[in-house]
């Protein structure tokens, strides 16, 4: 097993070297945004292609033999009609294993009117603030690593976190010598795509309970979001490069089974809290966030989830120059804040390490031009939380495993 892991890592490094050389040859110029209608309409875009490989367990897809099912394509249109009023929309196509399959979807679309620095209004399909980076998670060139820390920005929950249809207010409040505060508040609702990981996991859980209660086969599950509401306050301190934030969200979802032929279930996010801190000093960026998600799920009268998760990470990035940076990450997730040892799972005859995920990652980023970026990273993981059983048979899930990613991105 050790030699197999070494061979996989060496193969991963060879692929990275080939990708780096090819992109270096291609990157002969810089792309720019397209401005139309006398600068009233701007079109931006990005495209990325990645390669994902893993040892021990499949991750996000059938990745143990390597996969290129890791790409994103986006087109963003923005129109500044006046100094205070602008419109914007983004269309996104992505393929993350079985999720997305390159179907073009409206990622967000909004109208934004800023009355004053103290108050602005957004309506439409708006991005949801959560932590420092959720609103930017689809902009690969803004992230130091391929994946954001998965404890908080879990790709399997992206559809629950990225946007909602509704409205929100925002603004900036000066605080004198202390600095200033940015705030946001929103309320709305959102759809779950049928191929989303959270929908597939919930369907699998419903089928397990239905089988035990002799209720037949769950052929369809519709996750009907009733509402989502949230707020965020960012404190931009008077210390250069230092900011902190608090984010909060809650929501409720009705789980409709077999088009109502079976009793419906319920998933309540009673509160998700994220506490964030970031410090930037020249080439050094340090970031850390801590979160808890209090949730409850009921299916067929059985409470399948009840309690708080615990999530946190620390990450440091050092930019050697304008082209090359190195990032180190330690990322921790517990499915139950009060059960770090996995007692809940062992009582069900399952491995205790389904209760946690401890991830140490290291990555490099090369900005070959302002438009071309190449990233590569490797992660060593202890634990199998965050729905790993969806991609692996329960009896074959390994406690200790690893995964690596190479990704090429182009933006204009």
The per-type count for the chain, helices as H runs and strands as E runs, is 4, 18
Tell which residue, 214, 221, 316, 210, has the closest CA to residue 260. Answer: 221
- What pLDDT does 345 receive? 94
Residue 151 burial (C-beta neighbours within 10 Å; 0-12, 13-18, 19+): buried
Measured CA to CA, the distance from residue 373 to residue 407 in angstroms comes to 8
The pLDDT mean for the chain works out to 89
pLDDT, mean of residues 203-226: 86
Q: What is the C-alpha separation between 194 and 33, in angstroms, rounded?
A: 34
Sequence-separated contacts (24+) of 333-336 with Cβ below 8 Å: 333/150, 333/151, 333/154, 333/309, 333/357, 333/358, 333/383, 333/385, 333/386, 334/309, 334/310, 334/385, 335/309, 335/385, 336/307, 336/308, 336/309, 336/310
Q: Which two tokens stand for residue 401?
A: 């495993």
User: What distance in Å separates the CA atoms of residue 192 and residue 363, rounded to the nearest whole number?
Assistant: 32
Tokens 């070297």: give the residue.
17
Beta carbons of 374 and 348 less than 8 angstroms apart: no
Residue 244's pLDDT is 98
270, two tokens: 């009673």
3-state secondary structure of 56: coil
- 30 or 148: which leads in pLDDT: 148
For the residues 183-206, what does the mean pLDDT come to? 85
In angstroms, what is the C-alpha Rg of the chain? 22
Longest dimension (CA), the chain: 66
Whether the pLDDT of residue 2 is over 50: the answer is: no
CA 290, 378, 319, 136 dihedral sign is negative
Both tokens of residue 124?
Answer: 């439409």
What's the token pair of residue 391? 């991609």
User: 317 and 327 in contact (C-beta within 8 Å)?
Assistant: yes
Neighbours of 67 (CB within 10 A): 20
Cα 330–chain centre separation? 16
**pLDDT band at residue 15 under the 50/70/90 scheme:** very low
Structure-token pair, residue 254: 């009705």
SS3 content of the chain, % helix, strand, coil (to 5): 20, 55, 30
Contact status, residue 140 vs residue 373, Cβ threshold 8 Å? yes
Average pLDDT over residues 267-271: 95
pLDDT value at residue 29: 47
């Amino acid at each position: 097993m050790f030699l197999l892991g070494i061979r996989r890592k060496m193969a991963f490094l060879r692929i990275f070297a080939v990708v780096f050389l090819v992109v270096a040859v291609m990157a002969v110029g810089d792309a720019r945004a397209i401005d139309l209608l006398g600068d009233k309409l701007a079109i931006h875009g990005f495209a990325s292609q990645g390669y994902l490989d893993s040892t021990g367990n499949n991750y996000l897809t059938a990745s143990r033999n390597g996969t290129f099912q890791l790409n994103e394509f986006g087109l963003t249109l923005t129109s500044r009609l006046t100094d205070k009023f602008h419109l914007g929309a983004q269309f996104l196509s992505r393929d993350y294993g079985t999720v997305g399959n390159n179907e073009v979807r409206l990622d967000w679309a909004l109208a934004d009117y800023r009355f004053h620095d103290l108050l602005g209004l957004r309506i439409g399909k708006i991005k949801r603030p959560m932590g420092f980076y959720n609103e930017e998670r689809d902009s690969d060139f803004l992230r130091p690593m391929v994946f954001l820390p998965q404890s908080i920005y879990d790709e399997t929950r992206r559809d629950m976190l990225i946007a909602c249809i509704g409205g929100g207010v925002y603004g900036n409040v000066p605080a004198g010598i202390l600095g200033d505060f940015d705030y946001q508040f929103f309320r709305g609702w959102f759809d779950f795509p049928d191929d989303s990981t959270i929908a597939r996991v919930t369907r699998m859980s419903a089928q397990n309970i239905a089988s035990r209660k002799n209720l037949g086969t769950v052929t369809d599950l519709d996750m009907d979001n009733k509402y989502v509401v949230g707020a965020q306050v960012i404190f931009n301190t008077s210390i250069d490069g230092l900011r902190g934030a608090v984010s909060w969200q809650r929501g409720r979802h009705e789980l409709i089974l077999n088009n109502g032929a079976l009793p419906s279930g319920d998933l309540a996010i009673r509160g998700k809290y994220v506490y964030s801190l970031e410090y930037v000093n020249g080439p050094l960026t340090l970031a850390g966030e801590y979160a808890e998600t209090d949730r409850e799920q009921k299916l067929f009268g059985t409470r399948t989830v009840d309690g708080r998760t615990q999530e946190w990470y620390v990450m440091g990035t050092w930019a050697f120059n304008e082209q090359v940076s190195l990032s180190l990450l330690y990322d921790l997730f517990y499915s139950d804040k009060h059960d770090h040892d996995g007692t809940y799972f062992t009582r069900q005859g399952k491995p205790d390490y389904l209760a946690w995920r401890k991830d140490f990652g290291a990555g490099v980023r090369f900005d070959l031009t302002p438009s071309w970026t190449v990233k590569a990273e490797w992660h060593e993981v202890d634990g199998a939380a965050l729905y790993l059983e969806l991609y692996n048979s329960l009896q074959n899930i390994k406690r200790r495993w690893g995964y690596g990613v190479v990704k090429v991105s182009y933006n204009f």
